[in-house]
Each structure stands twice: as C-alpha cells, then as structure tokens.
A and B are shown apart, each in its own frame.
Chain A
Amino acid sequence: MKWSEFFTSSIGKKFVMALTGIFLILFLIVHVGLNACIFATWFDSEDHGAMFNKAAHFMGANWVPRLLEVGLFAGILLHIFQGYAIEMKNRSTRSVGYAVKLGNRGSKWYSRSMGLLGTLVFLFLIVHIAQFWVPSRITGLEETIIDGKPYHDLFARMVVVFQAPWVVALYLIGCASLLFHLLHGFQSSFRTIGVVNKRYMAIIKATGVAFSIIVVLLFALMPISMHLGWVK
C-alpha cells in the first residue's frame, strides 16, 4: 500500500480528521487555560488583567508557541478541508433519499450534523481571529505598562469588544456549536484511531463529555463576564 493510497482511503481520511481533531482538542486546553487568567481579577483587585496580558505576551513573544501556532493553523485548515471533502463524498453516496427518515431513532442529531456544526465554528473563528489575533499579531494594539514594561493590552481589547450584545450572542452561538461538535468529535476521534478496549473507551467517553461541557462553559463565561462587568 502506497502512502497516497493510505491517506486517500476512507479510513485514512478519517484518521487525519481524528489526529487533527485531537490536536485541536489539546489546543483548546491551552487556549481556555490562558484566557482563564482574566478571572485573576476576581482574586486580586489590583490585577486589572495584568496576568492575562502577560500570558498573552508569552504566547506571542516566545518562539515555541509561535512555532506551534503555525502547526495550529495548518491543523485547522487540514481539519476543515478534509472535513468538507469527507462530507461531500458521504453526501454523494445516496442519490435518492428516503421519504420517511430514520432521524433520532438511531443516532444523536449532533452526531449527524458535524459538517454543519463545524461550519458554524469555522464562521465564528473568522470573526474571532479578526477581532483578537489580527490586532494582537499584525495591526497592533494599545499598550499598557505592567511592572515597568510595555505589554499589548489585549485585556482592554476584550472589555471593549464584548460590550456589543451581538458579539456576545455570536460567541455564545460559537460556544454552543463547539459544545455539540466536541460531544461527538471527542469520543469519535478515539474510535477512529482504533481504541477497541471497552474499559478505556468508557473513560474516553466520560472524559469527552466532561471536557466538552467544562471547556465550553469556561469559554462562554468570558464574554458574559466582560459584558456584565463581572470582570473589569
């Protein structure tokens, strides 16, 4: 079997989806962990987003996260394009549909809607990257002085961006899409890479549900907290 045959086979394509998916799941841990630094303001009234700005500065200044960032963009693009390729192929396998559908009798609606949910997350990502990543890395941000050194004031940027109710609504839609995408994708990716053992699969399933809910709740709490002034 040539490598090209391996990666163009139906399971090979799914293997790439699973690996990039797991990589993106790992990224979510880093992302949610760093962003949770905004909640430092709850424990230290003198913080004013300093911990978060320092963490964000580290991600932009250190070469290790910058290198991983290249991998991240490559992983996201591969996951998206491969996902659409698989979705299109799968949609082409039944030219005449059923008059009466099986619907939820056999599977969860979100398991059948990974393409749609992924598209919603993708659309959200475009806005999200334009709002934070582009100003932080390319067009520039206002600076703030922490311990005598200048830092990009990404915290202030968040406070401003999340004042608009439509932005908060958009982020909550993005979070909901991510939640259901993860509820299926987390456990499905491990099945795809061939985890057969029932005891391990039980752990993976439970971890997947807990991970999806906790990570998404934390993300959702950020625009809400900033909008309602819980974090300032």
Chain B
Amino acid sequence: MEHYNMNLTLKVWRQKNNKAKGGFETYKLSDISSEMSFLEMVDVLNEQLIREGQDPIAFDHDCREGICGTCSMYIDGKPHGPWHANTTCQLHMRAYKDGDTITIEPWRANAFPVIKDLMVDRTSFDRIIQAGGFISVNTGNAVDANAIPINKDDADASFAAAACIGCGACVAACKNSSAMLFVSAKVSHLALLPQGQPEHKGRALNMIAQMDKEGFGSCTNTGACEAVCPKEISMVNIARLNNEFLGAGLTVDN
C-alpha cells in the first residue's frame, strides 16, 4: 500500500479528574503518516500539546501489540476503532484519509469511572476475577501437562475463551454496560477444563455477585459485545455462564 500523509481534525474528550465536568476539545494535526499506529498519532498530538505548554491527553496503553488489554478509546462510536477484531494499539492510520475528523471518547460505564481524559478505572474487572476467576492448587513441582486427558474440542473452546484480554470493550459497547461477555469468558475457560470443576459452582455464583455489586447491567443478548470484541470472544460463552450460574444457583445446599 502506498504511503501518504494526511491532515486530521481530532475531537477528544478532556476531563481533569473523576469529579470534574468533561467536554470535547478540537485539535488540528498535520502531516500524519499513514504508516503510524493510532497511538503514535496521539503521541504526536501530545508532543504538540507539551510544546504549546498544554496538558497532554491521558490515555491507557502498555504492550502496544494487542495482547495486554490496557488500551481502550471509543473511536468514532466503536470501541478500539473501525477495524474488526483489533485493539486500538493495532489500529493504523491507513484506516483514515486526508481531512477526516476522528472523535475519541473514553469507555462509558458507571462501573468504569473516568480517571482523567480517556483513562478509566477498570479495577472492577480485577475484583470480579478475585471473586472466583481462579483455581486452587497446591504449589510445588509443576504437574505433568498431560496427566489429565482433555477432549480436544473442550480444550480449544477453553483456549478461545481464555483469549479475553479484559479490555472492557464489551462493557463499553453494550447498551446495558453489561460485563457478561468478560465474565463469561473467564468462567468458561475454567469451566470447560477438568481443573476448573471442583470450584465451578462457587465461581459462577461469586463472580456474578461481584459483577452485580460493581454496577454492571444485565445481559439482554443484543450481540454488540461480540461484534466489537478484539479477541472475538463468542456469545456462546454467555449462554454457558447462564447455564453455570443457574445450575449452581438452583442446586447449591446453602
């Protein structure tokens, strides 16, 4: 693909802190290379803001290779921008053309309060994991990887669910701010394996209890989460989570 430069207009959500009232600021950028990543483009803008003595835009990023789940940004109405199955850090400026206007907003959900500008607090996800997204094993020497036979289909489905990077795009896209795709991925990747069985009832009950406590909405199966998920986590996992939760909730002794 041919390299080109472009001039852009950016409308970015700026908010000093959690308590402050935020609003959109418009910025002009010139000579942005089509070879840049989206975040490099924001870096260029921040350099420009620093030179002008202004406060740079705060945004989350870490690995910049699509595996850590740190980057967010709701770009032109879609989490992680226009490309399919892609994180913001993997989005490149060749997705845009000269003269485009790009609107960038933070994830919007009361369970993800804005810290500053485009950064949101996603520790609610950590607390959901702490409530049950683990298995309990004795430490010591690593056990033989093939000691327990596992059906290949289950192993594959578990692996696909484990691909969830916990970025929160599902919550951002959902009209109910539901975290069900995230929780279902975390429940599924353990529930599908024998190692996840001993604690599977408590896991589903405790993780959903924590999810409700954090203020996420309920799932109405609209499918927006699946459509925007950078790791293509399937909604089948949500059905499995419902199954796990109902099975546990209707059968536990106390």
CB pair A96 B209 closer than 8 Å: no
A99 at the interface (CB under 8 A from B): yes
A193-B246 contact given A100-B76, A112-B222, CB 8 Å threshold: yes
- The digit string for A186-222, where 1 denotes a CB below 8 A from any CB of B, is 0110011111101001000000000000000000000
CB pair B209 A201 closer than 8 Å: no
Count residues on chain A whose CB falls below 8 Å from chain B CBs: 43
List the one stretch of B33-41, B57-65, B126-134, B231-239 in contact with chain A.
B231-239
CB pair A93 B176 closer than 8 Å: yes
List the one stretch of B86-94, B106-114, B140-148, B159-167 in contact with chain A.
B106-114
B99 at the interface (CB under 8 A from A): no
Residues of B within 8 A of A108 (CB): 222-223
A90-B222 contact given A107-B227, A193-B246, A194-B246, CB 8 Å threshold: no
List the one stretch of B2-10, B47-55, B211-219 in contact with chain A.
B211-219
A149 at the interface (CB under 8 A from B): no
Residues of A within 8 A of B238 (CB): 191
**How far, in Å, is A153 (CB) from chain B's closest CB?**
43
A148 at the interface (CB under 8 A from B): no
Residues of B within 8 A of A13 (CB): 218
Residues of A within 8 A of B224 (CB): 102, 106-107
Set B22, B103, B109, B211: member contacting A94, Cβ < 8 A = B109
CB pair A90 B250 closer than 8 Å: no
Residues of B within 8 A of A194 (CB): 239-240, 242-244, 246-247
- The digit string for B172-191, where 1 denotes a CB below 8 A from any CB of A, is 01011110000000000000
CB pair A98 B218 closer than 8 Å: no
Report, as a range, how many residues of chain B touch the other chain.
35 or more
| Distance, CA A67 to CA B254, complexed state (A) | 34
Set B111, B222, B249: member contacting A6, Cβ < 8 A = B249
- The digit string for A70-106, where 1 denotes a CB below 8 A from any CB of B, is 0000000000000000100110111111111111011
- The digit string for A1-25, where 1 denotes a CB below 8 A from any CB of B, is 1000110011111110000000000
| Distance, CA A11 to CA B208, complexed state (A) | 8
Q: Show 24 residue pairs from A and B whose CB-CB distance is below 8 angstroms, ordered by the A residue.
A: A1-B205, A10-B211, A10-B216, A10-B217, A10-B219, A11-B242, A11-B245, A86-B218, A89-B218, A90-B176, A90-B218, A90-B220, A99-B11, A99-B105, A100-B77, A100-B103, A102-B78, A106-B223, A107-B227, A111-B220, A114-B220, A191-B242, A194-B239, A194-B244
CB pair A11 B228 closer than 8 Å: no
Residues of A within 8 A of B78 (CB): 102, 105-106
With CB as the reference atom, state the residue of chain A lying closest to B227. A106
Residues of B within 8 A of A9 (CB): 208-209, 212, 245, 249
| Distance, CA A14 to CA B105, complexed state (A) | 30
**How far, in Å, is A35 (CB) from chain B's closest CB?**
30
**How far, in Å, is A180 (CB) from chain B's closest CB?**
13
B221 at the interface (CB under 8 A from A): yes
Residues of B within 8 A of A191 (CB): 221, 235, 238-239, 242
Of A13, A99, A105, chain B has the most CB atoms within 10 Å of the CB of: A99
**How far, in Å, is B85 (CB) from chain A's closest CB?**
13
- The digit string for A100-134, where 1 denotes a CB below 8 A from any CB of B, is 11110111100110100000000000000000000
CB pair A111 B221 closer than 8 Å: yes
Set B22, B236, B249: member contacting A12, Cβ < 8 A = B249
CB pair A196 B223 closer than 8 Å: no
| Distance, CA A196 to CA B217, complexed state (A) | 22
Residues of B within 8 A of A15 (CB): 242, 246
- The digit string for A137-163, where 1 denotes a CB below 8 A from any CB of B, is 000000000000000000000000000
